[in-house]
Amino acid sequence: MSDRKNFVEIKVADGTTMSAYVARPQGSGKHPGIMVFQEAFGVNPYIRDVTDRFAKEGFTAIAPELFHRSGAGFEGSYTDFPATQQHTTKLTNEGLEADIRATHEWLSKDAQTDAQKIFSAGFCMGGRVSFFADTLVPLSAAVSFYGGGIAQGLLDRSKNLYGPVLLFWGGLDKHILPEHTRAVEDAIRAAGKEFGSVTFSYADHGFFCDQRASYNEKASKQAWPMTLEFLKYHLK
């Protein structure tokens, strides 16, 4: 568990309180905002680092703790995936929707954030949440890294996407198969929404995370500038 520096407390509509890590860009005035959604391992050093990286690129970045109902402050080990399941199995779309809306509202009311320019990005479990968020609140665009479960449970929400979505997949992923990625692409296309989809044939699930055994430097170093260009284009 971190020392909680730079965390804020957010009241959620269901009566719970959710902590969230906040990183701010340098400079005065209003900045675009971005919600950064965690993997199954919590708002850990990796997610905080990614949040910091977005702040350095000029975004007010916030990473909410999506496990606040089952284990506030949880930070799991990448070598102990079973420990995360006590939290992931308790997530519901209703709870996630409340958390997304609360986080979006916090950014919208933040004095240093432009409420008209809010984005999302998420990884693994958070990739699904980022896609979900784009169907719930008026985002300018969203990025989803290997979002598991979109194909199985969110395809019917494609018609509700607010902003364009950029999808990243690993071609070696044993959990998100080619038929899953095609189903997501087909659903968004059928809904007439804008999207980009990038599959790195040589990368596995979790390729962007430099703390995981599946980290792939080549794919990660290509995906990051693609992400920034996508977000900044939709700032215009």
The SS3 call for residue 59 is: coil
DSSP 86-122: HHHTT--HHHHHHHHHHHHHHHHH-TTEEEEEEEEEE
Q: Which of 104, 205, 209, 234 is catalytic?
A: 205
Backbone φ/ψ region at 190: left (φ over 0), alpha (ψ -120 to 50), beta = alpha
104 flagged as catalytic: no
Return the closest-CA partner of residue 66 out of 15, 119, 20: 20
Torsion angle of C-alpha atoms 223, 224, 230, 234, degrees rounded to 10: 160
Do 23 and 116 touch, CB atoms closer than 8 A?
A: no
| Residue 55, strand partner residues | none
Active site residue 134: no
Out of 99, 124, 134, 204, pick the active-site residue.
Answer: 124
Residue 114 annotated to the active site: no
Q: Which of 173, 180, 209, 234 is catalytic?
A: 173
Closest CA to 128 of 106, 150, 153: 150
Do 121 and 208 meet the contact criterion of CB atoms below 8 Å apart?
no
CB 206 within 8 Å of CB 212:
yes
Which residues are catalytically annotated?
A: 124, 173, 205
